[in-house]
Amino acid sequence: MSSPSENIHVIETAPHVYRQRFSVPTDYSVWFSRDVFSVRNPLLARSLSEGVPERPHRVCVLIDAGVAAAWALLGEMIQCYAHHHSTRMLLACPPEIVPGGEDCKNDPGLVTRLQQRLVDLKIDRHSFVIAIGGGAFLDLAGYVAATTHRGIRLIRMPTTVLAQDDSAIGVKNGVNAFGMKNLLGTFAPPHAVISDFCFLRTLSARDRVAGMAEAVKVASIRDRDFFAWMESNAARLRAFDDAAVEHLIRRCAELHMQHIAGGGDPFETGSARPLDYGHWAAHKLESLSQHDVRHGEAVAIGMSLDARYAELTGLLPAAHVERLVSLLSALGFALWHPALEMRCNGAGLALLAGLQEFREHLGGQLTVTMLTAIGSARDVHEIDHRRMQQAVEWLKLRSAGG
Ligand SMILES: NC(=O)c1ccc[n+]([C@@H]2O[C@H](COP(=O)([O-])OP(=O)(O)OC[C@H]3O[C@@H](n4cnc5c(N)ncnc54)[C@H](O)[C@@H]3O)[C@@H](O)[C@H]2O)c1
Ligand SMILES: [Zn+2]
Protein backbone atom coordinates (compact mmCIF):
# COMPACT_ATOMS: atom_id res chain seq x y z
CA MET A 1 0.00 0.00 0.00
CA SER A 2 1.28 3.50 -0.80
CA SER A 3 1.81 6.01 1.98
CA PRO A 4 -0.63 8.93 2.35
CA SER A 5 2.01 11.42 1.22
CA GLU A 6 2.46 9.53 -2.06
CA ASN A 7 -1.26 9.58 -2.62
CA ILE A 8 -1.56 13.32 -2.38
CA HIS A 9 1.71 14.05 -4.20
CA VAL A 10 3.34 15.99 -1.41
CA ILE A 11 6.99 16.40 -2.31
CA GLU A 12 9.41 17.02 0.47
CA THR A 13 11.89 19.51 -1.01
CA ALA A 14 13.47 20.75 2.20
CA PRO A 15 12.99 20.00 5.88
CA HIS A 16 10.70 23.00 6.33
CA VAL A 17 8.80 22.96 2.97
CA TYR A 18 6.17 20.57 1.68
CA ARG A 19 5.32 21.25 -1.93
CA GLN A 20 1.74 20.48 -2.90
CA ARG A 21 0.81 19.58 -6.45
CA PHE A 22 -2.33 18.18 -8.02
CA SER A 23 -4.40 18.78 -11.08
CA VAL A 24 -8.12 18.52 -11.54
CA PRO A 25 -9.21 17.46 -15.01
CA THR A 26 -11.99 19.58 -16.45
CA ASP A 27 -14.53 18.06 -18.74
CA TYR A 28 -17.94 19.32 -19.76
CA SER A 29 -20.20 19.12 -22.78
CA VAL A 30 -21.59 22.00 -24.81
CA TRP A 31 -24.78 20.79 -26.51
CA PHE A 32 -26.75 22.37 -29.32
CA SER A 33 -30.37 21.41 -29.53
CA ARG A 34 -33.95 22.59 -30.06
CA ASP A 35 -37.07 22.35 -27.91
CA VAL A 36 -35.03 21.39 -24.90
CA PHE A 37 -38.09 21.35 -22.61
CA SER A 38 -40.17 19.12 -24.84
CA VAL A 39 -40.71 16.00 -22.71
CA ARG A 40 -39.49 13.94 -25.67
CA ASN A 41 -36.06 15.60 -25.56
CA PRO A 42 -33.99 13.67 -22.97
CA LEU A 43 -30.89 15.87 -23.26
CA LEU A 44 -31.28 17.89 -20.06
CA ALA A 45 -32.32 14.90 -17.95
CA ARG A 46 -29.33 12.93 -19.22
CA SER A 47 -26.97 15.85 -18.69
CA LEU A 48 -27.89 15.95 -15.01
CA SER A 49 -26.46 12.44 -14.62
CA GLU A 50 -23.41 12.94 -16.85
CA GLY A 51 -20.37 12.04 -14.77
CA VAL A 52 -22.39 11.78 -11.55
CA PRO A 53 -24.60 9.00 -10.14
CA GLU A 54 -27.97 8.55 -11.80
CA ARG A 55 -30.70 9.46 -9.33
CA PRO A 56 -33.28 12.24 -8.95
CA HIS A 57 -31.07 15.32 -8.67
CA ARG A 58 -32.37 18.34 -6.79
CA VAL A 59 -32.53 21.33 -9.10
CA CYS A 60 -33.18 25.04 -8.74
CA VAL A 61 -34.09 26.64 -12.06
CA LEU A 62 -33.45 30.38 -12.43
CA ILE A 63 -34.86 32.19 -15.46
CA ASP A 64 -33.82 35.58 -16.85
CA ALA A 65 -36.90 37.83 -16.61
CA GLY A 66 -36.47 38.92 -20.24
CA VAL A 67 -36.71 35.28 -21.34
CA ALA A 68 -39.65 34.58 -19.04
CA ALA A 69 -41.52 37.57 -20.50
CA ALA A 70 -40.98 36.29 -24.04
CA TRP A 71 -41.82 32.65 -23.20
CA ALA A 72 -44.87 32.87 -20.96
CA LEU A 73 -45.31 29.09 -20.65
CA LEU A 74 -41.67 28.30 -19.95
CA GLY A 75 -42.12 27.77 -16.18
CA GLU A 76 -44.98 25.33 -16.75
CA MET A 77 -43.06 23.49 -19.45
CA ILE A 78 -40.11 23.03 -17.10
CA GLN A 79 -42.38 21.67 -14.36
CA CYS A 80 -43.96 19.28 -16.82
CA TYR A 81 -40.50 18.21 -18.04
CA ALA A 82 -39.29 17.57 -14.48
CA HIS A 83 -42.43 15.56 -13.73
CA HIS A 84 -41.87 13.42 -16.84
CA HIS A 85 -38.17 12.90 -16.01
CA SER A 86 -38.65 12.49 -12.26
CA THR A 87 -36.15 9.63 -12.05
CA ARG A 88 -33.43 12.18 -12.80
CA MET A 89 -34.75 15.62 -11.96
CA LEU A 90 -36.46 16.92 -8.83
CA LEU A 91 -37.39 20.60 -8.71
CA ALA A 92 -36.57 22.17 -5.33
CA CYS A 93 -39.17 24.87 -6.10
CA PRO A 94 -41.05 26.11 -9.17
CA PRO A 95 -38.72 27.90 -11.62
CA GLU A 96 -37.84 31.37 -10.33
CA ILE A 97 -37.77 34.51 -12.41
CA VAL A 98 -34.82 36.81 -11.75
CA PRO A 99 -33.98 40.19 -13.35
CA GLY A 100 -31.67 39.87 -16.36
CA GLY A 101 -29.73 42.22 -18.64
CA GLU A 102 -26.68 44.21 -17.57
CA ASP A 103 -28.55 45.77 -14.62
CA CYS A 104 -28.56 42.42 -12.85
CA LYS A 105 -24.75 42.53 -12.74
CA ASN A 106 -24.86 45.98 -11.14
CA ASP A 107 -26.97 45.03 -8.11
CA PRO A 108 -24.97 43.55 -5.21
CA GLY A 109 -28.22 43.01 -3.27
CA LEU A 110 -29.38 40.58 -5.93
CA VAL A 111 -26.30 38.39 -5.45
CA THR A 112 -26.99 38.15 -1.74
CA ARG A 113 -30.70 37.47 -2.21
CA LEU A 114 -29.99 34.61 -4.61
CA GLN A 115 -27.33 33.10 -2.36
CA GLN A 116 -29.82 33.26 0.53
CA ARG A 117 -32.48 31.65 -1.64
CA LEU A 118 -30.22 28.71 -2.50
CA VAL A 119 -29.44 28.23 1.18
CA ASP A 120 -33.15 28.38 2.10
CA LEU A 121 -33.93 25.79 -0.57
CA LYS A 122 -31.15 23.57 0.80
CA ILE A 123 -29.43 23.47 -2.58
CA ASP A 124 -26.12 21.80 -1.75
CA ARG A 125 -22.98 20.88 -3.68
CA HIS A 126 -24.68 17.76 -5.04
CA SER A 127 -27.67 19.72 -6.30
CA PHE A 128 -27.86 21.78 -9.48
CA VAL A 129 -28.57 25.33 -10.48
CA ILE A 130 -29.95 25.53 -14.01
CA ALA A 131 -29.64 29.09 -15.32
CA ILE A 132 -31.58 30.09 -18.43
CA GLY A 133 -30.84 33.48 -19.93
CA GLY A 134 -28.57 35.98 -21.61
CA GLY A 135 -24.87 36.47 -20.98
CA ALA A 136 -25.34 38.99 -18.18
CA PHE A 137 -27.81 36.80 -16.31
CA LEU A 138 -25.58 33.72 -16.72
CA ASP A 139 -22.60 35.69 -15.36
CA LEU A 140 -24.65 36.60 -12.29
CA ALA A 141 -26.15 33.14 -11.79
CA GLY A 142 -22.72 31.55 -12.33
CA TYR A 143 -21.20 33.79 -9.68
CA VAL A 144 -23.97 32.97 -7.22
CA ALA A 145 -23.64 29.23 -7.88
CA ALA A 146 -19.83 29.30 -7.65
CA THR A 147 -19.75 31.19 -4.35
CA THR A 148 -22.54 29.40 -2.48
CA HIS A 149 -21.16 26.38 -0.62
CA ARG A 150 -17.96 27.14 -2.61
CA GLY A 151 -19.50 25.80 -5.76
CA ILE A 152 -22.84 24.31 -6.74
CA ARG A 153 -23.08 22.41 -10.02
CA LEU A 154 -24.28 24.68 -12.78
CA ILE A 155 -25.99 23.94 -16.08
CA ARG A 156 -26.03 27.01 -18.31
CA MET A 157 -28.75 27.43 -20.90
CA PRO A 158 -27.80 30.47 -22.96
CA THR A 159 -30.62 32.26 -24.78
CA THR A 160 -28.84 35.01 -26.73
CA VAL A 161 -26.48 34.83 -29.67
CA LEU A 162 -23.68 36.24 -27.54
CA ALA A 163 -24.22 33.78 -24.71
CA GLN A 164 -24.45 30.81 -27.11
CA ASP A 165 -21.45 31.73 -29.22
CA ASP A 166 -19.17 32.96 -26.44
CA SER A 167 -20.00 33.77 -22.85
CA ALA A 168 -21.81 30.61 -21.73
CA ILE A 169 -19.35 28.09 -23.10
CA GLY A 170 -16.34 29.31 -21.09
CA VAL A 171 -15.20 29.12 -17.50
CA LYS A 172 -15.83 32.64 -16.22
CA ASN A 173 -18.60 34.34 -14.31
CA GLY A 174 -18.83 37.67 -12.56
CA VAL A 175 -20.65 40.84 -11.64
CA ASN A 176 -19.73 44.51 -11.99
CA ALA A 177 -18.55 46.39 -8.89
CA PHE A 178 -16.97 49.72 -7.93
CA GLY A 179 -17.72 51.09 -11.40
CA MET A 180 -15.80 48.29 -13.15
CA LYS A 181 -16.99 45.50 -15.42
CA ASN A 182 -16.68 41.96 -14.09
CA LEU A 183 -14.64 43.03 -11.09
CA LEU A 184 -15.98 40.30 -8.81
CA GLY A 185 -16.10 36.79 -10.20
CA THR A 186 -14.56 33.37 -10.34
CA PHE A 187 -13.27 30.83 -12.81
CA ALA A 188 -15.71 27.95 -12.48
CA PRO A 189 -16.33 25.44 -15.28
CA PRO A 190 -20.00 24.49 -15.68
CA HIS A 191 -21.37 20.98 -15.35
CA ALA A 192 -22.79 21.34 -18.87
CA VAL A 193 -23.98 23.94 -21.37
CA ILE A 194 -27.15 23.41 -23.39
CA SER A 195 -27.92 25.87 -26.18
CA ASP A 196 -31.44 25.76 -27.53
CA PHE A 197 -31.61 27.64 -30.84
CA CYS A 198 -35.39 28.09 -30.46
CA PHE A 199 -34.83 30.71 -27.77
CA LEU A 200 -33.24 33.01 -30.34
CA ARG A 201 -36.60 33.50 -32.06
CA THR A 202 -37.73 36.04 -29.48
CA LEU A 203 -34.48 37.96 -29.27
CA SER A 204 -34.65 41.68 -30.10
CA ALA A 205 -33.16 42.81 -33.40
CA ARG A 206 -30.52 44.66 -31.44
CA ASP A 207 -29.37 41.59 -29.50
CA ARG A 208 -29.38 39.42 -32.61
CA VAL A 209 -26.78 41.69 -34.15
CA ALA A 210 -24.81 42.39 -30.94
CA GLY A 211 -23.90 38.74 -30.35
CA MET A 212 -22.23 38.42 -33.74
CA ALA A 213 -19.41 40.75 -32.66
CA GLU A 214 -17.72 37.95 -30.73
CA ALA A 215 -17.74 35.77 -33.86
CA VAL A 216 -16.11 38.56 -35.87
CA LYS A 217 -13.61 38.92 -33.04
CA VAL A 218 -12.51 35.30 -32.86
CA ALA A 219 -12.44 35.00 -36.66
CA SER A 220 -10.31 38.17 -36.91
CA ILE A 221 -7.65 36.84 -34.59
CA ARG A 222 -7.81 33.13 -35.40
CA ASP A 223 -9.66 32.03 -38.52
CA ARG A 224 -9.60 33.94 -41.78
CA ASP A 225 -11.76 31.30 -43.53
CA PHE A 226 -14.50 31.84 -40.98
CA PHE A 227 -14.10 35.58 -41.47
CA ALA A 228 -14.46 35.16 -45.24
CA TRP A 229 -17.51 32.97 -44.67
CA MET A 230 -19.11 35.78 -42.64
CA GLU A 231 -18.29 38.28 -45.39
CA SER A 232 -20.00 36.07 -47.98
CA ASN A 233 -22.97 35.44 -45.71
CA ALA A 234 -23.37 38.89 -44.17
CA ALA A 235 -26.77 39.46 -45.79
CA ARG A 236 -28.12 36.12 -44.49
CA LEU A 237 -26.72 36.84 -41.04
CA ARG A 238 -28.22 40.32 -41.05
CA ALA A 239 -31.59 38.77 -41.98
CA PHE A 240 -31.09 36.27 -39.13
CA ASP A 241 -31.36 33.26 -41.40
CA ASP A 242 -31.53 30.23 -39.05
CA ALA A 243 -28.95 28.07 -40.79
CA ALA A 244 -26.43 30.91 -41.13
CA VAL A 245 -26.82 32.03 -37.51
CA GLU A 246 -26.50 28.46 -36.23
CA HIS A 247 -23.31 27.96 -38.20
CA LEU A 248 -21.91 31.22 -36.82
CA ILE A 249 -22.74 30.21 -33.25
CA ARG A 250 -21.29 26.72 -33.51
CA ARG A 251 -18.04 27.78 -35.18
CA CYS A 252 -17.57 30.68 -32.78
CA ALA A 253 -18.23 28.45 -29.76
CA GLU A 254 -15.81 25.84 -31.13
CA LEU A 255 -13.03 28.41 -31.59
CA HIS A 256 -13.54 29.73 -28.07
CA MET A 257 -13.47 26.21 -26.63
CA GLN A 258 -10.29 25.38 -28.55
CA HIS A 259 -8.65 28.48 -27.18
CA ILE A 260 -9.68 27.82 -23.58
CA ALA A 261 -8.53 24.19 -23.67
CA GLY A 262 -5.51 24.59 -25.94
CA GLY A 263 -4.30 28.12 -25.27
CA GLY A 264 -2.33 27.02 -22.21
CA ASP A 265 -3.96 29.44 -19.78
CA PRO A 266 -7.63 28.57 -19.14
CA PHE A 267 -7.76 30.52 -15.90
CA GLU A 268 -5.90 33.53 -17.30
CA THR A 269 -2.94 33.63 -14.96
CA GLY A 270 -0.74 35.31 -17.58
CA SER A 271 -1.14 38.82 -18.99
CA ALA A 272 -2.11 37.87 -22.54
CA ARG A 273 -5.77 37.52 -23.40
CA PRO A 274 -6.23 37.24 -27.15
CA LEU A 275 -9.95 36.49 -26.86
CA ASP A 276 -10.28 39.97 -25.42
CA TYR A 277 -9.39 41.61 -28.73
CA GLY A 278 -11.13 45.00 -28.79
CA HIS A 279 -12.20 44.58 -25.18
CA TRP A 280 -10.11 47.18 -23.35
CA ALA A 281 -12.09 49.91 -25.10
CA ALA A 282 -15.32 47.89 -25.05
CA HIS A 283 -15.37 47.51 -21.28
CA LYS A 284 -14.58 51.17 -20.74
CA LEU A 285 -17.19 52.27 -23.25
CA GLU A 286 -19.82 50.11 -21.55
CA SER A 287 -19.08 51.85 -18.23
CA LEU A 288 -18.78 55.37 -19.72
CA SER A 289 -22.11 54.97 -21.51
CA GLN A 290 -23.63 53.61 -18.28
CA HIS A 291 -24.40 50.42 -20.18
CA ASP A 292 -26.32 52.21 -22.89
CA VAL A 293 -24.11 50.18 -25.24
CA ARG A 294 -24.49 46.39 -25.27
CA HIS A 295 -21.35 44.34 -24.75
CA GLY A 296 -21.31 43.11 -28.34
CA GLU A 297 -21.88 46.59 -29.72
CA ALA A 298 -18.98 47.90 -27.63
CA VAL A 299 -16.73 45.06 -28.81
CA ALA A 300 -17.49 45.97 -32.44
CA ILE A 301 -16.42 49.56 -31.75
CA GLY A 302 -13.36 48.45 -29.75
CA MET A 303 -12.18 46.17 -32.55
CA SER A 304 -12.59 48.93 -35.15
CA LEU A 305 -10.56 51.36 -33.04
CA ASP A 306 -7.77 48.88 -32.46
CA ALA A 307 -7.69 47.95 -36.14
CA ARG A 308 -7.27 51.58 -37.16
CA TYR A 309 -4.64 52.03 -34.44
CA ALA A 310 -2.79 48.99 -35.80
CA GLU A 311 -2.87 50.56 -39.24
CA LEU A 312 -1.53 53.86 -37.87
CA THR A 313 1.37 52.04 -36.22
CA GLY A 314 2.19 50.03 -39.34
CA LEU A 315 1.01 46.66 -38.01
CA LEU A 316 -2.05 46.16 -40.21
CA PRO A 317 -2.56 46.97 -43.90
CA ALA A 318 -5.38 49.44 -44.58
CA ALA A 319 -7.27 46.93 -46.73
CA HIS A 320 -7.67 44.63 -43.70
CA VAL A 321 -9.04 47.48 -41.57
CA GLU A 322 -11.55 48.15 -44.31
CA ARG A 323 -12.62 44.50 -44.43
CA LEU A 324 -13.19 44.42 -40.68
CA VAL A 325 -15.14 47.67 -40.53
CA SER A 326 -17.15 46.79 -43.65
CA LEU A 327 -18.14 43.40 -42.27
CA LEU A 328 -19.25 44.93 -38.97
CA SER A 329 -21.29 47.56 -40.81
CA ALA A 330 -22.82 44.93 -43.10
CA LEU A 331 -23.91 42.92 -40.06
CA GLY A 332 -25.69 46.00 -38.75
CA PHE A 333 -23.33 47.49 -36.17
CA ALA A 334 -23.26 51.23 -35.55
CA LEU A 335 -19.59 51.95 -34.99
CA TRP A 336 -19.87 55.13 -32.98
CA HIS A 337 -21.13 56.23 -29.59
CA PRO A 338 -20.82 59.78 -28.14
CA ALA A 339 -19.27 58.40 -24.91
CA LEU A 340 -16.12 57.74 -26.97
CA GLU A 341 -15.50 61.49 -26.88
CA MET A 342 -15.99 62.05 -23.16
CA ARG A 343 -13.11 63.90 -21.52
CA CYS A 344 -11.49 63.52 -18.07
CA ASN A 345 -11.87 66.94 -16.42
CA GLY A 346 -11.66 68.64 -19.78
CA ALA A 347 -8.32 66.95 -20.54
CA GLY A 348 -7.63 63.63 -22.34
CA LEU A 349 -10.18 61.13 -23.56
CA ALA A 350 -11.85 59.29 -20.67
CA LEU A 351 -11.81 56.17 -22.84
CA LEU A 352 -8.03 55.92 -22.56
CA ALA A 353 -8.28 55.23 -18.82
CA GLY A 354 -9.65 51.89 -20.00
CA LEU A 355 -6.10 50.83 -20.89
CA GLN A 356 -4.92 51.12 -17.30
CA GLU A 357 -8.06 49.44 -15.99
CA PHE A 358 -7.56 46.60 -18.47
CA ARG A 359 -3.98 46.17 -17.27
CA GLU A 360 -5.07 46.12 -13.65
CA HIS A 361 -7.79 43.58 -14.39
CA LEU A 362 -5.31 41.25 -16.07
CA GLY A 363 -2.48 42.00 -13.69
CA GLY A 364 1.14 42.22 -14.83
CA GLN A 365 2.19 43.99 -17.98
CA LEU A 366 -0.23 45.85 -20.26
CA THR A 367 -0.98 43.38 -23.06
CA VAL A 368 -3.28 44.38 -25.88
CA THR A 369 -3.99 42.12 -28.85
CA MET A 370 -3.60 43.83 -32.23
CA LEU A 371 -4.34 42.39 -35.65
CA THR A 372 -1.53 41.95 -38.13
CA ALA A 373 -3.89 40.58 -40.79
CA ILE A 374 -7.40 39.16 -40.87
CA GLY A 375 -6.90 35.84 -39.09
CA SER A 376 -3.72 36.66 -37.19
CA ALA A 377 -2.75 38.84 -34.29
CA ARG A 378 0.07 39.73 -31.94
CA ASP A 379 0.39 41.35 -28.54
CA VAL A 380 1.64 44.88 -27.96
CA HIS A 381 2.64 46.25 -24.58
CA GLU A 382 2.44 49.98 -25.14
CA ILE A 383 -0.26 52.14 -26.60
CA ASP A 384 0.46 55.61 -27.97
CA HIS A 385 -2.43 57.72 -26.64
CA ARG A 386 -2.12 60.32 -29.38
CA ARG A 387 -2.48 57.70 -32.10
CA MET A 388 -5.38 56.06 -30.31
CA GLN A 389 -7.07 59.45 -30.18
CA GLN A 390 -6.54 59.73 -33.93
CA ALA A 391 -8.22 56.35 -34.31
CA VAL A 392 -11.23 57.66 -32.34
CA GLU A 393 -11.42 60.75 -34.58
CA TRP A 394 -11.22 58.55 -37.67
CA LEU A 395 -14.03 56.32 -36.46
CA LYS A 396 -16.22 59.34 -35.82
CA LEU A 397 -15.63 60.71 -39.30
CA ARG A 398 -16.11 57.34 -40.93
CA SER A 399 -19.35 56.70 -39.09
CA ALA A 400 -20.64 60.10 -40.13
CA GLY A 401 -19.95 59.06 -43.71
CA GLY A 402 -16.89 61.29 -43.99
N1 LIG B 1 -18.38 35.17 -18.85
C2 LIG B 1 -17.83 35.42 -20.01
O3 LIG B 1 -16.85 34.80 -20.42
C4 LIG B 1 -18.40 36.51 -20.89
C5 LIG B 1 -17.97 36.63 -22.22
C6 LIG B 1 -18.57 37.61 -23.04
C7 LIG B 1 -19.56 38.43 -22.51
N8 LIG B 1 -19.95 38.28 -21.20
C9 LIG B 1 -21.01 39.13 -20.64
O10 LIG B 1 -22.24 38.88 -21.30
C11 LIG B 1 -23.08 40.02 -21.12
C12 LIG B 1 -23.83 40.32 -22.40
O13 LIG B 1 -24.69 39.25 -22.69
P14 LIG B 1 -25.83 39.34 -23.81
O15 LIG B 1 -25.29 39.98 -25.01
O16 LIG B 1 -26.38 37.97 -23.89
O17 LIG B 1 -26.87 40.39 -23.24
P18 LIG B 1 -27.86 40.35 -21.99
O19 LIG B 1 -27.63 39.17 -21.12
O20 LIG B 1 -27.76 41.70 -21.37
O21 LIG B 1 -29.29 40.16 -22.67
C22 LIG B 1 -29.87 41.19 -23.43
C23 LIG B 1 -31.38 41.27 -23.17
O24 LIG B 1 -32.06 40.19 -23.80
C25 LIG B 1 -32.95 39.55 -22.89
N26 LIG B 1 -33.05 38.18 -23.37
C27 LIG B 1 -32.17 37.17 -23.20
N28 LIG B 1 -32.56 36.11 -23.93
C29 LIG B 1 -33.71 36.44 -24.55
C30 LIG B 1 -34.58 35.74 -25.46
N31 LIG B 1 -34.29 34.52 -25.89
N32 LIG B 1 -35.69 36.38 -25.88
C33 LIG B 1 -35.95 37.65 -25.49
N34 LIG B 1 -35.15 38.37 -24.66
C35 LIG B 1 -34.04 37.76 -24.20
C36 LIG B 1 -32.32 39.78 -21.54
O37 LIG B 1 -33.30 39.72 -20.51
C38 LIG B 1 -31.75 41.18 -21.69
O39 LIG B 1 -32.73 42.14 -21.43
C40 LIG B 1 -22.19 41.15 -20.66
O41 LIG B 1 -22.41 41.39 -19.28
C42 LIG B 1 -20.79 40.61 -20.85
O43 LIG B 1 -19.86 41.15 -19.93
C44 LIG B 1 -19.40 37.33 -20.40
ZN1 LIG C 1 -16.73 39.82 -25.04
Instruction: Encode pLDDT of 235-286 as tens digits.
Output: 999 999 999 999 999 999 999 999 999 887 888 887 778 889 999 999 999 9
In this prediction, residues 141-163 reach a mean pLDDT of 98
Residues in the chain: 402
pTM of the model: 0.94
* Cβ-based neighbour number of residue 228 at 10 Å: 15
Ligand 1 site, CB within 6 A: 64, 66-67, 70, 100-102, 105, 133-137, 139, 159-160, 162-163, 166-167, 170, 172-173, 182, 199, 202-203, 207, 210-211, 294-296
From residue 104, alpha-carbon distances to 99, 149, 177, 291 in Å are 6, 21, 11, 12
* pLDDT at residue 224, rounded to an integer: 97
Q: Percentage of the chain surpassing pLDDT 70?
A: 96
pLDDT score, position 4: 46
Identify whether the C-beta of residue 175 lies closer than 8 Å to the C-beta of residue 182. Answer: yes
Q: How confident is the model at residue 14 (pLDDT cuts 50, 70, 90)?
A: low
How far apart CA 275 and CA 90 sit, in angstroms, is: 38
pLDDT of residue 8: 56
The protein residue with its alpha carbon nearest to ligand 1, atom 27, reads 134
Of the listed ligands, the closest to the CA of 215 is 2
Q: Which atom of ligand 1 is nearest to the CA of 211?
A: 15
Task: Indicate which residue's Cα is closest to atom 23 of ligand 1.
Answer: 101
**Which residue owns the Cα nearest ligand 1 atom 13?**
135
pLDDT reported for residue 12: 58
Mutate to test the pocket of ligand 1, among 154, 204, 295 (most ligand atoms within 8 A of CB): 295
Distance CA 236, CA 255 (A): 21
pLDDT at 123 over 90: yes
Distance from Cα 181 to the centre of ligand 2, integer Å: 11
Cα 247 from Cα 179, distance rounded (Å): 36
Give the mean pLDDT of the chain: 94
N-terminal to C-terminal alpha carbon distance within the chain: 77
pLDDT of residue 269: 81
Residue 277 in contact with residue 221, Cβ under 8 Å?
A: yes
Question: Which three-class secondary structure state does DSSP give residue 127?
Answer: coil
pLDDT range class, residue 1, cuts 50, 70, 90: very low
Q: Determine the pLDDT at residue 18.
A: 87
